[in-house]
Amino acid sequence: MAGTIETLAEHGCFGGVQGFYRHASAACGGAMRFAAFVPAAGRERRLPVLFYLAGLTCTEETFTIKAGAQRVAAELGMIVVMPDTSPREPQLPGDRDAWDFGQGAGFYVDATQAPWSANYRMFSYVTEELPALIDAHFPTDPARRGVFGHSMGGHGALVTALRRPDVFRSCSAFAPISAPMDCPWGHKALGNYLGPDRSAWAAYDASALMRARPFAREILVDQGLADKFLAEQLKPELLEAAAAASGQALTLRRHAGYDHGYYFIQSFVADHLAHHARQLGQM
């Protein structure tokens, strides 16, 4: 049964409402925040809903403020939900010691190692608890639900779609961590959250998952070629190879001059919303 939500702020935006909310999370064992944009069309009918998963150091405010997605979402008639990237309470030992692990870096996994396993259950949160909460409180159509994200959140979007196609019917990503089993960010997060057994890591590696069982619909990925993390951390070529091996329909676009930041996301966010709108029957 979905719980209650607390409204922190709501603002008129392109005829709809941009809101910020908080709720008690059973999955994460404490309060969690999220943002949600509901266009004017939501006053009349149920709409498709997109979940945006943000990257390292980000919060529910990052994409909401920086991406400029609300105008396009209003035109397409799509709800967009932006969860936080990790639990924030209770504070755990060492969870603020590094920018790429702990708070702001939940990596969208269900941790199995102490002390993280009691609270860092972001996979369950974004695939089960949060969708149920959103469906209970907003005018969504649960049969038309998509997921997208950036960097760590791009990894999260790919993994959640590949593992839970019953929950998410469309998927895209900006500069995702495509193969966390093969990069330093992934080694740090998966090793600490899941332990040293690399066989457990494969459940959260998009390239490994895609090789085993492709997503039923085309996935869109955009990657900037001026991204300083491209070679060491992101490795889109491994995702491309996995798609070729499994027959996954993948459009991977590489863009000269674009880096890892939100100017890159602003430039292509309309394409991503249109991709989801087509797949969810809004275009």
What are 115-152's pLDDT values in tens digits? 999 999 999 999 999 999 999 999 999 999 999 999 99
What are 19-71's pLDDT values in tens digits? 999 999 999 999 999 999 999 999 999 999 999 999 999 999 999 999 999 99
Lookup: tokens for 64:
């909401």
- How many Å apart are CA 231 and CA 246, to the nearest integer? 23
- How many Å apart are CA 229 and CA 207, to the nearest integer? 17
227 is a catalytic site residue: yes
User: Nearest CA to 233 among 195, 179, 193?
Assistant: 179
**According to the model, what pLDDT value does residue 122 have?**
98
**According to the model, what pLDDT value does residue 2 have?**
74
**According to the model, what pLDDT value does residue 281 have?**
87
Backbone angles phi, psi at 237, to 5 degrees: -65, -30
Residue 43, number of CB atoms within 10 A of its CB: 11
Segment (H or E) for 21:
strand 16-25
At residue 238, does pLDDT exceed 80? yes
- How many Å apart are CA 136 and CA 146, to the nearest integer? 17
**According to the model, what pLDDT value does residue 191 have?**
98
User: Nearest CA to 52 among 144, 145, 139?
Assistant: 145
Segment (H or E) for 27:
none
What are 60-98's pLDDT values in tens digits? 999 999 999 999 999 999 999 999 999 999 889 999 999
**DSSP class of 169:** S
Lookup: tokens for 92:
């755990």
Q: Which residue is catalytic, options 25, 86, 151, 207?
A: 151
Q: Which residue is catalytic, options 170, 172, 227, 276?
A: 227
pTM, two decimals, is 0.97
- How many Å apart are CA 52 and CA 268, to the nearest integer? 14
Average pLDDT, rounded, for the chain: 97
Beta-bridge mates of residue 121: 110
**According to the model, what pLDDT value does residue 278 have?**
97
25 is a catalytic site residue: no
- How many Å apart are CA 96 and CA 130, to the nearest integer? 24
Lookup: tokens for 71:
């105008």
Q: Which residue is catalytic, options 23, 260, 272, 276?
A: 260
Backbone angles phi, psi at 249, to 5 degrees: -75, 110
- How many Å apart are CA 120 and CA 110, to the nearest integer? 6
What are 186-228's pLDDT values in tens digits? 999 999 999 999 999 999 999 999 999 999 999 999 999 999 9
Angle value at C-alpha 262, between 175 and 178, nearest 5 degrees? 10
Strands 79-83 and 30-38 come out as antiparallel
